Amino acid sequence: MRPILALLLLCAVCGARADELRPAYLQLTETRPDVFEVLFKVPARGGAERLDLRVEFDDSVVAQSAISDGFVGGAHLQRWTLQRPGGLAGTQLGMTGPAALRTETLLRVQYRDGSALVHRLTPEAPRYVVEPQPGLWQVVSTYLVLGVEHILIGLDHLLFVLVLLLMVDGTRKLVATITAFTVAHSITLSLAALDLVRVPVPPVEACIALSIVFVAAEIVHRERGLPSLTARRPWIVAFTFGLLHGLGFAAALGEIGLPQSAVPAALLFFNVGVEIGQLLFVAAVLLFGWVARQALRSEPPRWREVPAYAVGALAMFWVIERTAGFWA
């Protein structure tokens, strides 16, 4: 059961292109009445090539400055200023270009009073009519959905949860391990999102991949009769690496930003969304495992090393790739 599940997930991971999973980011910041500064960040492909993705506004929006652009840290940035009488509420914007068919864009409209509107433009719904300034309920629902979506497209986080499930035997150990991971990443997510802890993102991403390699290696040791502290007390490892994964969640939240008028609510419900997505993934894995057990009845012992090697190899590739990026 476990090998089949892990290999299916691994095939899905290997079939996805990294650039297609990285969202673009569009921020509109109100600098004075009816005037907005635009920041459009598009994932880069290689050193000097960007995804073919463009933003279009309706005719009521007028550009007030020329576009300045350049490549920064694996992304292409464009900046300009626009104006619309009466503000942006009611205007329509959308994503165009070939990349719009496969790339999501996070839209954030920041107003001078500290409130913010966040919306996700998807390939299925690439156009959006800007709503009036958001109330508390809109902030809660938006960040809840963003939290769920982030964990479900965060392949490295899902693989770490998967290897934890492969490592743990028994319901009590499983509950303790998942709880420890949840508590840990909630702590560091909150601290980093509130700017109380600052850690460079590239090393964090490399260490997250390394955490998957570590647990995958521990699974192999256990199957060969060499149990360690990880096998006996998996919640300790889950808590330790959970602190690291929380910093990764915070980096994603940092790209979206928090509305200054509702920081506690946005942070809380983004975290709740992450937990809901994580529980959905765990439930799906356990359900698949139960069905597979009923169908297969038995599992050759040596097969248990196959998913550990497969997931560990992929994670090691990420470690090398992300470490190499330090000097790119």
pLDDT tens track for 149-171: 888 888 899 999 999 998 888 88
Quick one: tokens of 321? 């790739």
- Classify the C-alpha dihedral 189-191-196-199 as positive or negative: negative
**pTM of the complete model beyond 0.85:** no
Token look-up 């497969």 returns 310
**Distance, CA of 290 to chain centre:** 28
**Residue 72 CB neighbours (<10 A):** 10
Record the tokens describing residue 209, joined without a space.
């991949």
pLDDT in tens, 87-124: 999 999 999 999 888 888 989 898 887 778 888 898 99
User: What integer is the mean pLDDT of 263-287?
Assistant: 90
Q: How far is residue 227's CA from residue 160's CA, in Å, rounded to a whole number?
A: 19
Record the tokens describing residue 174, joined without a space: 């499983």
3-class SS string, 112-144: CCCCEEEEEECCCCCEEECCCCCCHHHHHHHHH
pLDDT tens digits, 176-222? 999 999 999 999 999 998 888 888 888 999 999 999 999 999 988 88
Pick from 253, 265, 287: nearest CA to 185: 253
Helix (H, G, I), strand (E, B) or coil at 167: helix
CB atoms within 10 A of CB 125: 12
**Rounded CA separation 87/64 (Å):** 14
The pLDDT tens digits of the residues spanning 278-318 come to 999 999 988 887 787 777 666 555 566 788 889 999 999 99
